[in-house]
Structure 1
Amino acid sequence: MSPERTFDARKFRAARRAADRTQAQVGNAVGVNEAAVAKWEREMTTPPSEKLAALAAYLGAPIDKLFPRTGPATLADLRRDAGLTQQDAARVIGTRSSVPVRKAEGGKRRLADVYVPLLASAYGVTIAQLLAAQERSFRVDVPDPGASGDRPGTVAAPEAPAINPRSLAERIAFLLESSDARLDTTDAGLAVRGNMKVGRQVLTADLVAAMRSGNHAGGASEALEALAMALDAPPAFLTSDDESVHRVVSAARLLTSGVSGMAARGDGEALTPQMLDFINDTVAKIQSGLPKDQGSGRRPE
């Protein structure tokens, strides 16, 4: 059984009053009516587990104190704490059906590797924490990496805000941090490599330095494309303002660098061509505005 969070009506009512919120205000904050909140406080019903995190945040109370859990989190717990349904999670990984999510949560079939960083980002946890939660979903007792360090052989990832860098400077810094250690990441080195990639003189060391600092004015998309290619990243990561593109590319980048590092240590295999095709296809569809379940790319089952 999943160690779902416990709901204490009296504690919840006390927290609401301490926050000086009405039942109607609480309901509006989480998308239910006043009558539903009243029923919670009268112990007639309990809130959906996906709403507990939002309730705690709205009342300014730590979720682990207001709605404590009796054991380490499973995949379903992480999803609920993020306020997502299984169908929401399916949209995160770009599948029409929630079957991959439901089977992983039910201990039937583990998530495809390419889905792991996407869900870790959406759930606001590290990849190691998500993998540990997945093992618990399969009734394997493993410690929380967040409390005792990453398990050997897993890929560590930053918390959710870091996996979705927003500004140009943040995106470039992210690419630099996750790039191959053998790559010449000096301004001059990147300029030379970017120019070679695009086949013409586009970048200079000064221009690369300006883009790194975020001072480069938008509009010179060919320079951004060249820099992205110099860092072995899809040009859309730097040229597009679409946060969906940023999230998919950065999550995939973390998985690529992490799995490649594991392969180099003999701990696993690098990403398959099919996975890379899926990542590139997803980015292309986001850019073109097509639904992610259409097109030629085939998702892992």
Structure 2
Amino acid sequence: MPARHFDGQRVRAERRAKNLTQKQLAQAIGLKTHAPVASWESGKSFPDGEKLPGIAEALGKDLDELFPRDGAPTLRDLREDAGYPQNKTGQLIGVTSHIPVSNAERGMKRLDDEYVPRLAKAYGVTEQQLLDAQDRSFGVFVPAAGARGQETSRPRPETLAEKLSYLDKETFSGGQSAPTDADLAAVINRRAGAPVVAPADIAALRAGKVTETTPVIREGLGEAYGVSPMFFQDNDEVALQVVEGISFLAARERGDILGLAARGNDSGLSGAALAKINDLIAELGLGKGSRAGGEGR
């Protein structure tokens, strides 16, 4: 499945809106038969990532709007967004083999300096954007990107309401639902051993109508979301660490941090550095087993 979100039903709807047959869409993106398009639309398979730009163009849609992507692009993402299969990348950097780009995409060996401007030009990005994407391929945290090619600052929720909203959005995916007000109240009250809050109190926190909490509420929220209770205090450094930890965890679950077992090479993150990343995730309580309302959910 491509790194971008692909919805076959959405593609079918957009194709029909353009009065295109499956055969016509297939021809527009260089396919000899409509069978792959039929398979994509039925959800039986997914197109290779480098085909998504062509599909979006044929349907008259923006790539980011039709096939959104969470987080920032890696080298592979940039290549696919430019519409190139990996076996064509050697030509882009002026060599006979695609191995240099393949190694960089897999976090094994970084690109030689001379390849960077050539590849950036081919992908339609700046050299810095290409280097940032390469860092992500090696598991190095780089501030998230907005629309393709537009770097934005790292998100850092500040108010309590923003922090709750951030956790709801960033730590629940794959069919999981964020906790309800009643879910959070139940976790807090169970931890406190007494009915200290009601669902309406949680709603007030989420709406920003109440901006202060007690230690027992912060501890309950921390348990519910699987993060440090300090995240809910006025502490920018802790908030930033939690944001970074969640970003690392999300990358690990997507397979973007390729070296969470030490690779034993000189180009990627060292085993010690990777161990520190995992220690940070563990210290902040961001393991897979920590999800809100863990009991009975």
TM-score, length-scaled by structure 2: 0.48
TM-score, length-scaled by structure 1: 0.47
